[in-house]
Amino acid sequence: MSETQYKDGIDAETVERVQELDTYKYGFTTDIESVKAPKGLNEDTVRFISAKKEEPEWLLEWRLEAFKRWQQMEEPTWANVAYPAIDYQDHYYYAEPKAGAKYESIDDVPEEILADFKKLGIPLREAEVLLGVEGAAESAAAARNTPKVAVDAVFDSVSVATTFQKELQKAGVIFMSISEAVREHPELVRKYLGTVVPTTDNYFATLNSAVFSDGTFVYVPKGVRCPMELSTYFRINEANTGQFERTLIVADEGAYVSYLEGCTAPMRDENQLHAAVVELVTLDDAEIKYSTVQNWYPGDKDGKGGIYNFVTKRADCRGARSKVSWTQVETGSAVTWKYPSCILRGDDSQGEFYSIAITNNHQQADTGTKMVHLGKNTRSRIISKGISAGKSDQTYRGLVSIHGKADGARNFTQCDSLLIGGDCGAHTVPYVEDKSNSAILEHEATTSKLSEEQLFYAQSRGLDEEQAVALLVNGFVKDVLQELPMEFAVEAQKLIEVSLEGSVG
């Protein structure tokens, strides 16, 4: 990209920012001494983590039981991804920055970490202008209108800072790391933990249950509309370290919360493991909007390094008229295995899944959703846009299941795939199970390439080929971008451009 393309009136910061986007810019490492659990995984590792977090006995038992079960399980092979066997004994399962897990005040957080998050665009000092994700400031108008975002920052295995806790407390919203929540609100954690994704759920969720390190806990009480967006930023820094975050969000009757999640990791030649579990619970009339921009290090252009992202995300719409909306932009990770799902248990409950997944170079992604309709008049909507480029492979895998009692259930599914270049693959594997004679299910899928006429037109108007591709791809994913909170949408658009870097020409 040459400078001449920037016209008058666009400030220097924007130009700089766009130039930065040329490569994976979050690949730096932060030098900070850390305390790690001994390498490998056995019962002692589980006890070590639990002791580090000063957990009550019941939680240790819960972890140990999960560990016992995990040892008898086999790693799933059904996903359309291939990677060398993971040596689970060759990872560290816990790493925390030296000098303690949680800092009393923001002033105690080591400068290196603050600087690291600042570099990532996540200022942790409340005094600073708080924006969820870097990039939003590009538009002055947007900056003025951007609401405050409370951030929980997770660095390797620990949460290092949570902002705006006091302000949230005034509204009755509990927003803290899950380790803190275990100590401060054990009754709430115990009531909901593992009730959506049980410890027996699947290989990676069971592993997570045994060794989960940190994550976020949110409880929005009855009738409260959370006054600001909540956000967690996950950062893997240590080498050879797995991150096993556990997030639990509960929206009580009539509550509403919008939650954002972002993730990055340094560029390393070896693969790193990230096995998270996210559980959402909505009671009557509650709503959770969960947005993710997943930008873990995808590996280099030859497929070396990158994060293995094996994630179980599930929402239980327990209450009548409750709603969960998942929106994800997946551009990172070497291998992705992720199916954010909704159990639509409450009558008239609603589930939504909006997804953009982009794979380039040697990335592999097997992602989709499950919508399980149990209650009457439950509704779900799935919009998935997959873009494959380079030598990457991508699969949409989804289940829509209508149980016998789900009278009047409705589902609409659309999955579109776009292939850029002849060396990639795009696959669609939807499962539909219908046991209700009053349900209506619609599913459509298309696979195509970028239209040559449109590319030609964009180029004849002065865009170069890469810009033209980015423009068309942005149009292709527009339905999903619209669902993202504004700050994320700007970031996501840029990410799309970066992810497709080098895919044409």
Partner 1 sequence: MAGSPIPLTAFEDRLLAEVPDTDLAELLRSRGLPGRRTETWKWSDLRGALRDVRERSRVYASQAEAPISLGGATVLTLKNGIPQAPHGVEPKPVVKGGEKVGSTYVVEDGLVVSFYDHGRDAEDETLPGEELSALAALRPLMSVSVLPGFTHKIVLRRLSDGEGTHGDNVFVTVGEGARATLIETHEITGSPFVNSRTELELDAKSVCERYIVQPAAPGAVLVHSSVLRLDEAKDEETVKLKQMTLALGAQLARHETRLTHLGESEAKIDALYRLSDSLHTDITSHITFEGEDGVTDQLVKGIGDGRSRGVFQGKFLVQRGAQRTDAQMAHHALLLSKGAQINAKPELEIYADDVECAHGNTAGALDTDALFYMRQRGVPEDEAHSLLIDAFGGEVLDRVEDETVREQLAALFGGAA
Using DSSP, state whether 351 is helix, strand or coil. strand
Binder of partner 1 out of 438, 451, 454, 482 (CB under 8 A):
438
CA distance linking residue 173 with residue 164, whole number of Å: 11
Candidates 123-131, 249-257, 314-322, 433-441; binding stretch for partner 1 (CB under 8 A):
433-441
Kindly tell me which residue out of 59, 425, 464, 504 binds partner 1, with binding defined by CB under 8 A.
425
Selected from 42, 89, 169, 446, the binder of partner 1 by CB under 8 A is 446
335 lies in the site for partner 1, by CB under 8 A: no
Q: Per CB under 8 A, does 448 bind partner 1?
A: yes
- Subset of 26-85 contacting partner 1 (CB under 8 A): 74, 77-78
Q: Give yes or no for residue 383 binding partner 1 (CB under 8 A).
A: no
Contact between 383 and 476 under an 8 Å Cβ cutoff? The reply is no
- Residue from 29, 165, 436, 467 in contact with partner 1 (CB under 8 A): 436
Q: For partner 1, which is the closer residue by CB, 90 or 444?
A: 444
Q: How far is the CB of 434 from partner 1 (least distance, A)?
A: 4
Q: What are phi and psi of 153, to 5 degrees?
A: -105, 120
Q: State the minimum distance, in angstroms, from the CB of residue 424 to partner 1.
A: 7
Please tell me the distance from the alpha carbon of residue 463 to that of residue 147, in angstroms, as a whole number: 34
Cβ(361)–Cβ(392) below 8 Å: yes
Could you tell me the two tokens for 126? 């409340």
Name the H helices within 43-177: 43-52, 57-72, 111-119, 140-145, 165-171
Determine if 504 is a binding residue for partner 1 (CB under 8 A).
no
Q: Which of residues 276 and 455 has its CB atom nearest to partner 1 in the complex?
A: 455
Give, as one character, the DSSP assignment of residue 139. Answer: S
Residue 423 binding partner 1, by CB under 8 A: yes
358 lines the binding site for partner 1 (CB under 8 A): no
Q: Which of 39, 191, 435, 478 binds partner 1 (CB under 8 A)?
A: 435
From 153, 255, 424, 473, residue interacting with partner 1 (rule: CB under 8 A) = 424
Stretch that binds partner 1, among 41-49, 124-132, 184-192, 436-444 (CB under 8 A): 436-444
Is 366 within 8 Å of 330 (Cβ atoms)? no
DSSP for 449-490, written as a single string: E--HHHHHHHHHTT--HHHHHHHHHHHHTHHHHTTS-HHHHH
Instruction: Supply the minimum distance, in Å, between the C-beta of residue 445 and partner 1.
Output: 5
**Chain centre to alpha carbon of residue 294:** 5
Q: Is 433 in the site for partner 1 (CB under 8 A)?
A: yes
Find the binder of partner 1 among 109, 250, 383, 420 (CB under 8 A): 420
**Residue 451 touching partner 1 (CB under 8 A):** no
Q: CB of residue 97 vs partner 1: minimum separation in angstroms?
A: 39
Strand intervals (E) in 368-409 = 370-373, 379-389, 393-402
Answer for which of 101, 426, 490, 496 binds partner 1 (CB under 8 A) is 426
By CB under 8 A, residue 86 contacts partner 1: no
Q: At its nearest, how many Å lie between partner 1 and the CB of residue 10? A: 34
Other beta carbons less than 10 A from residue 151's beta carbon? 27
Q: What pairing do the DSSP bridges indicate for beta strands 95-97 and 34-36?
A: antiparallel
Continuous segment of H or E residues that includes residue 216: strand 216-220
Q: Is 404 in the site for partner 1 (CB under 8 A)?
A: yes
| 258: β partners | 289
- Sequence-distant (6+) residues with CB within 8 A of 117 are 123, 124, 153, 155, 161, 233, 235
Question: Does position 430 bind partner 1 by CB under 8 A?
Answer: yes
- Considering the complex, state which of residue 431 and residue 457 has its C-beta at the smaller distance from partner 1: 431
Q: Taking the complex as a whole, how short is the minimal distance between the CB of residue 314 and partner 1, in angstroms?
A: 21
Rounded to whole angstroms, the Cα distance separating 279 from 288 reads: 11
Secondary structure class of 218 (helix, strand, coil): strand
Residues forming the site for partner 1 (CB under 8 A): 74, 77-78, 404, 417, 419-449
